[in-house]
């Protein structure tokens, strides 16, 4: 398929790529058809030394990438001590999110908790209440898994209409990392669950060490399934703002349950119904009633480029449309892309087979005719679930919701290559 694409794109492409013989210059109109000094003249970076690297104990991005950073939306929270910092997904590719620009949300600030000060208590309906130090955790068999974390409020500002003009802000409450940690199952078994009796109706209540504690109740069957007590992300220690030294990883479930700065896990015979699972992180329906225990993040996708922060900067011809898809129910099996607001769909190319509860990168390698587009993507997961339209969601959920908006996103791309956030009926 790549070969066909090359074949298809070549004819178009020569209009922009420079044919040396002809002396034309790459990327067309912007530069005159004179010889390109970047080719014909020796450049300073090719005739002198660059910079030493040893001076930088931990490398950071080159200054030209200074805009590829987490950003917040000031009106979203009352104070920066309880703020939300969005991943610049419009500027990323592939699937891994670097920790340095990975979404984070905190409720009472990011605390500085040293490993020697870390304690994890497991108590409640267990045979032996235990306290684990960081070093204790390192002595249990550990696993590696790549998982996405999505905040339940991701895209939540879009319920009432197209609000925020950029994929970073409409869909950037998400990241995807390779975690290393100990299965929670192992630690619960260490404490012993015989005292809990029938596990089918049991819960755990999980607290963080920060002042908010961000306590959440999790049913025992999930706790014993794929939950990790994680201490590394993308190979290195968790960042302070991601819960250093230890956080909970709850694959496929809303990010608020991935408790940071992990402190205590209590085995209980009922959920706690804490603030974070009653007045917050529940879904208020049209009739005012609230759906609760809506933990799983349904299949969702978004086109990250072109998008408002990543416009098309060239004329008609070959165009790579790309984005990401994910599902809390498992693997992404297909992503469709529409350029006409959902009237017609084309299957996108998945960069790799979808991985369980992890981001999947998709591409549509196309030839743009330069006319306007209503760009959409639609994810389908291994359960057969198809990402819904906003109209379909509103029909069921009304307009009172904040959380769990996994609707199809539309970007209106104009002939000048610019894109904006719009709704289509």
Of 248-277, which residues contact a copy of itself (CB under 8 A)? 261, 263
Q: Which of 32, 64, 198, 279 binds a copy of itself (CB under 8 A)?
A: 64
- In the bound complex, what is the minimum distance in angstroms from residue 293's beta carbon to a copy of itself? 27
Q: Which of residues 114-133 bind a copy of itself (CB under 8 A)?
A: 114-115, 117, 119, 121, 123, 128-133
Q: Report 348-407 residues binding a copy of itself (CB under 8 A).
A: 349, 351-352, 361, 363, 365
Q: Which is nearer to a copy of itself, 162 or 335 (CB)?
A: 335
Tokens 């201490």 found at: 231
15 near a copy of itself, rule: CB under 8 A = no
Site mask for a copy of itself (CB under 8 A), range 215-254, x = bound: -----------------x-xxxx-xxx--x----------
Residue closer to a copy of itself by CB (options 232, 334) is: 232
Q: Which range, of 63-71, 293-301, 388-396, 398-406, touches a copy of itself by CB under 8 A? A: 63-71
Closer by beta carbon to a copy of itself, 57 or else 384 = 57
Residues 92 and 81: their CA atoms lie apart, in Å, by 27
Report the residue number, 260 or 378, with the smaller CB distance to a copy of itself: 260
Q: With binding defined as CB under 8 A, does residue 214 bind a copy of itself?
A: no
Nearest alpha-carbon partner for 258 in 272, 282, 238: 238
Which of the residues 86 through 105 are near a copy of itself (CB under 8 A)?
Answer: 91-102, 104
Residues 176 to 205 in contact with a copy of itself, rule: CB under 8 A? 178-180, 183, 185-186, 189-190
Burial label for 119, CB within 10 Å (0-12, 13-18, 19+), is middle
The torsion region of residue 422 among left (phi > 0), alpha (psi -120 to 50) and beta comes to beta
Please report which helix (H) or strand (E) contains residue 393, including its range: helix 390-397
Tokens of 165: 């003009």
Give backbone dihedrals phi and psi of 275, rounded to 5 degrees, phi first.
-50, -45
DSSP state of 200: G
Give the tokens for residue 379.
């994810």
287 forms part of the interface with a copy of itself (CB under 8 A): no
Nearest distance, CB of residue 61 and a copy of itself, angstroms? 6
Identity of the residue, 41 or 395, whose beta carbon is nearer to a copy of itself in the bound complex: 41
Residues comprising the chain, all counted:
425
Does residue 153 sit in helix, strand or coil?
Answer: coil
Report the C-alpha dihedral over residues 1, 415, 309, 357, rounded to 10 degrees: -30
Please check whether residue 119 is in contact with residue 132, taking contact to mean a CB–CB distance below 8 angstroms.
yes
């Amino acid at each position: 398929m790549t070969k066909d694409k090359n074949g298809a794109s070549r004819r178009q492409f020569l209009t922009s790529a420079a044919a040396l013989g002809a002396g034309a210059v790459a990327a067309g109109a912007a530069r005159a058809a004179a010889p390109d000094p970047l080719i014909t003249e020796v450049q300073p970076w090719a005739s002198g030394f660059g910079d030493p690297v040893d001076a930088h104990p931990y490398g950071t991005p080159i200054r030209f990438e200074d805009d590829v950073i987490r950003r917040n939306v000031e009106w979203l929270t009352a104070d920066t001590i309880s703020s939300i910092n969005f991943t610049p997904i419009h500027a990323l590719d592939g699937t891994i999110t670097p920790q340095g620009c990975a979404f984070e949300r905190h409720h009472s600030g990011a605390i500085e908790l040293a490993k020697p000060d870390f304690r994890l208590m497991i108590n409640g309906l267990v045979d032996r209440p235990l306290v684990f130090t960081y070093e204790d955790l390192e002595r249990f068999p550990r696993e590696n898994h790549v998982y996405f974390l999505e905040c339940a409020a991701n895209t939540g500002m879009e319920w009432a209409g197209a609000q925020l003009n950029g994929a970073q802000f409409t869909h950037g409450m998400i990241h995807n990392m390779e975690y290393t940690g100990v299965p929670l199952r192992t630690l619960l078994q260490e404490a012993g669950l015989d005292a809990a009796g029938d596990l089918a109706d049991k819960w755990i209540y999980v607290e963080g060490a920060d002042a908010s504690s961000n306590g959440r109740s999790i049913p025992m069957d999930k706790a014993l399934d794929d939950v990790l007590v994680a201490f590394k992300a993308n190979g290195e220690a968790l960042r302070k703002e991601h819960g250093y030294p230890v956080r909970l990883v709850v694959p496929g479930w809303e990010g608020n349950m991935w408790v940071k700065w992990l402190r205590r896990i209590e085995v209980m015979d009922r959920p706690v119904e804490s603030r974070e699972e009653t007045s917050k992180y529940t879904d208020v329906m049209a009739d005012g009633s609230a759906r609760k225990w809506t933990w799983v993040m349904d299949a969702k996708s978004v086109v990250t480029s072109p998008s408002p922060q990543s416009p098309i900067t060239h004329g008609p011809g070959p165009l790579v449309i790309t984005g990401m898809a994910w599902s809390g129910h498992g693997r992404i099996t297909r992503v469709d892309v529409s350029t006409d607001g959902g009237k017609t769909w084309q299957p996108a190319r998945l960069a790799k087979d979808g991985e369980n509860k992890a981001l999947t990168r998709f591409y549509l390698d196309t030839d743009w005719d330069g006319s306007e587009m209503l760009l959409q993507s639609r994810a389908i997961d291994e359960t057969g679930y198809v990402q819904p339209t906003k109209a379909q969601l509103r029909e069921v959920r009304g307009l009172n919701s904040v959380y769990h908006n996994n609707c199809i996103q539309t970007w209106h791309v104009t002939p000048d290559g610019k894109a904006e956030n719009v709704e289509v009926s």
